[in-house]
Amino acid sequence: MTTDLKKSLLLHGAVLAVLFASQFVLPAYHHGNLARVMILASYAMGYNLLFGYTGLLSLGHALFFAAGLYGMGLAMSQFDVGAGPALVCGVIAGTLVGAVIGMLALRTEGVAFMIVTLMFAQAGYLTILYFGTYTRGDEGFVIAQPDRVLLGLDLSDPTVRFFAAFTVFCIALIMCLAVVKSRFGKVLIAIRENEDRTQMLGYDVTRYKFSAVVLSASLSALAGAAYGILFGYVGASFASVQYSIFPLLWVLLGGAGTVLGPLIGTLFMFYLIDLSSGITTAYMLIAGVVLVLLTVFAPQGILGELRRRVWKWLP
Amino acid sequence: MSALTAQGLSKHFNGLVAVEDVTFEVPPGQVRALIGPNGAGKTTLVGMLSGRIVPSSGRVTFDGDDVTNWPAHKRIASGIGYTFQITSIFPNLSVWENVALAARRALSTPASVSQVVATSLSRVGLVDRQAEDAGDLSYGHQRLLEIAMGLAQAPKLLILDEPTQGLAEGEVTAFIELIAELSGETTVLLIEHNMDVVMQVSDFVTVLEAGRVLFEGSPDEVKASAEVQSAYLGGDDAAA
């Protein structure tokens, strides 16, 4: 068991080292992309905690991402809060929304859970549009450069932004690794594998699932708040159903229930669209074919397949 | 004081009577067998005792507490171990992790978990299979794994729903020895169809028929009872 732990620490450390180093080697275009991918991957990791590890498929995570985004953005635009406290507001907003949704949606299971989360997210999206006076609706609002200074660092500067994104990603990665290795995380996996059995081992399954929803929402909200600050824009499109489907797609591609799967999936999808749109305007056709091939030949995602074949120890 | 009592327990499924007015007591340390023909309501009854099924009426007390309104997980945490009639394990997790999940709820240190897992697995003879995925085990071994999961919780009361179903002959013998070791320290409630097992391990037998208690007595009395013979054993040579 301990050698597995060493291998896992080595692998995740190496991934972080590569990401860190890529700042110095990648051309500006890719290095901006990578900053974006790292934030979105953190969002996907939050999603993965609930979907990949606990086995709860939510179709409404955009609500949590948007709660972070708007919690941060509105704190800034309406209350003139600084970047640091605004970020905290975003995470708190996401956590609270997660708690409320968790309490309501966990009364359902399976398909009903998917529908209920989807409906709440749509309601959230429409709420943002309804309060257009403050949220500026579809058009959204820009976070001006002077507001994007945290601890004396200008987050609109590409290099600083990259390291800020890297920091958020590190937080997400370490948090996920810690959860997965913990007693709590092992109970979540047990719930995914056999909920009935887990309950009949004396675990309060509902309480664990609720904690998973809240944790997942907090991480998604952190990613949302960071996204708004780093890229300077808050808009309703991030609350749309598309942004609920994205993390599902990324996690499925990369490997549900693997810590690094969300990063691989997000990176893969991002560059798949980026590269194929360089070839043809019908880029979704290429992307679609690749996705179909992947689901046929690696139904457990890229890392899920790797774990099944070679790296059994992958967390 | 009794370890477990049921008072007037009934369960009706949309008018269908599964269990009707069952009252019985199990003293601490006893191995109690629950027998009866298919459809007699045995699994429904233990479902109500463990909290999986909400009774239509009646009360359950366990270890001095009225647990009737407790959710299943709380009853399990207070010392009831439960194994399912239809094997319910974590097929994609290792045998070791299956038992560790059972042990971990009550234990705080990884070392104590490892120790309990090792003891539980060795008691059912699955130590050398611990690294395998539980789903790769044979059906009989999965039954044994479930018993190990029950043992790992160090329950005050262990409820076993047809534990020997699908076990090979040698494994049944080992199971009988295991229950003999447990008796005295752990109260055991056993649903069992194999009459040899019932005769050898149980201190006391409750016979259920059509949702009601038909007869209670020692294994020998059950064997001798004409009532049970006709209802369940089907004749005097059917005991084998």
Task: Provide the pLDDT confidence category of residue B75 given band limits of 50, 70 and 90.
Answer: very high
Same domain, B150 and B166: no
pLDDT attached to residue A138:
82
| B93 reaches A (C-beta below 8 A) | yes
Tell me the shortest Cα–Cα distance from A245 to chain B, in angstroms: 27
Domain count along chain B: 2
Same domain, B44 and B105: no
Same domain, B177 and B162: yes
pLDDT attached to residue A288:
82
ipTM given for this complex: 0.85
Q: Which of B154, B174, B202 is the last residue of a domain?
A: B154
Is a pLDDT exceeding 70 seen at residue B236?
no
Reference A253, options A268, A271, A272; nearest CA is A268
Query: Considering only CB atoms, which chain A residues are within 8 Å of B52?
Result: 200
pLDDT attached to residue B239:
42
Compute chain B's Rg from CA coordinates: 18
Q: Which of B129, B154, B179 is the last residue of a domain?
A: B154
Q: What CA–CA distance (Å, rounded) separates B48 from B68? A: 9
| B72 reaches A (C-beta below 8 A) | yes
| B73 reaches A (C-beta below 8 A) | yes
Best of A2, A195, A200, A209 to disrupt the B interface (most B CBs within 10 Å) is: A200
Same domain, B97 and B72: no
Best of B50, B73, B84 to disrupt the A interface (most A CBs within 10 Å) is: B73
| B9 reaches A (C-beta below 8 A) | no
Query: Considering only CB atoms, which chain B residues are within 8 Å of A186?
Result: 97, 100-101, 104
pLDDT attached to residue B233:
59
| B118 reaches A (C-beta below 8 A) | no
pLDDT attached to residue A15:
85
Selecting from A196, A197, A201 the residue whose C-beta is nearest the C-beta of B105 gives A201
| B149 reaches A (C-beta below 8 A) | yes
Selecting from A194, A200, A203 the residue whose C-beta is nearest the C-beta of B82 gives A200
Is a pLDDT exceeding 80 seen at residue B228?
no
Angle subtended at Cα B86 by Cα B84 and Cα B87, rounded to the nearest 5 degrees = 75
Higher-pLDDT residue of B32 and A305 is: B32
Size of interface A-B (CB pairs under 8 A): 54
Same domain, B236 and B119: no
Query: Considering only CB atoms, which chain A residues are within 8 Å of B43?
Result: none
% of chain B residues with pLDDT over 70 = 95
- If phi over 0 gives left and psi between -120 and 50 gives alpha, with beta otherwise, what is residue B64? left
Q: What CA–CA distance (Å, rounded) separates B204 from B7? A: 18
pLDDT attached to residue B234:
59
Give the residue numbers spanning the domain of B190: 1-79+156-240
Reference A307, options A19, A52, A2; nearest CA is A52
pLDDT-flagged residues of chain A (< 70) = 1
Higher-pLDDT residue of B101 and A140 is: B101
Give the residue ranges of DSSP H helices in chain B.
Answer: 42-50, 72-77, 95-104, 110-124, 139-152, 169-182, 195-201, 219-224, 226-228
Query: Considering only CB atoms, which chain A residues are within 8 Å of B101?
Result: 186-187, 190, 198, 201
Which helix (H) or strand (E) segment is B8 a member of?
Answer: strand B4-13
| Nearest chain A residue to B135, by CA | A193
Q: What CA–CA distance (Å, rounded) separates B121 from B148? A: 6
Same domain, B62 and B165: yes
pLDDT in tens, B112-140: 999 999 999 998 888 999 888 999 998 88
Selecting from B77, B89, B100 the residue whose C-beta is nearest the C-beta of A197 gives B89
| A183 reaches B (C-beta below 8 A) | yes
Angle subtended at Cα A227 by Cα A248 and Cα A260, rounded to the nearest 5 degrees = 45
| A107 reaches B (C-beta below 8 A) | no
Same domain, B165 and B72: yes
pLDDT in tens, A79-136: 888 888 999 999 999 999 999 999 999 999 889 999 999 999 999 999 998 987 888 8
- Long-range pairs for B68-71 at CB < 8 Å and ≥24 separation? B71/A204
Q: Which of B136, B154, B172 is the last residue of a domain?
A: B154
- Phi, psi of B22, deg, nearest 5: -95, 125
Tell me the shortest Cα–Cα distance from B206 to chain A, in angstroms: 24
| A198 reaches B (C-beta below 8 A) | yes
Same domain, B193 and B138: no
pLDDT attached to residue A264:
92
Q: For residues B17-33, give the mean pLDDT.
A: 91
Contact A278, A74 (CB under 8 A): no
Selecting from B76, B93, B106 the residue whose C-beta is nearest the C-beta of A200 gives B76
Using DSSP's 3-state secondary structure scheme, residue A142 falls into strand
- What count of other Cβ atoms lies within 10 Å of the Cβ of residue B141? 22
What secondary structure letter does DSSP report for B183? B
| A199 reaches B (C-beta below 8 A) | yes
Tell me the shortest Cα–Cα distance from A282 to chain B, in angstroms: 41
Is a pLDDT exceeding 50 seen at residue B238?
no
Same domain, B26 and B51: yes
pLDDT attached to residue A214:
97
Query: Considering only CB atoms, which chain A residues are within 8 Å of B93?
Result: 189-190, 193
The CATH number for B37's domain is: 3.40.50.300
Same domain, B98 and B197: no
The average confidence (pLDDT) of chain B is 88
Selecting from B52, B76, B93 the residue whose C-beta is nearest the C-beta of A201 gives B76
Same domain, B75 and B160: yes
pLDDT attached to residue B232:
65
Question: B229 Cβ partners below 8 Å, 6+ apart?
Answer: B235, B236
Same domain, B112 and B15: no
Q: What CA–CA distance (Å, rounded) separates B12 from B211? A: 10
| B54 reaches A (C-beta below 8 A) | no
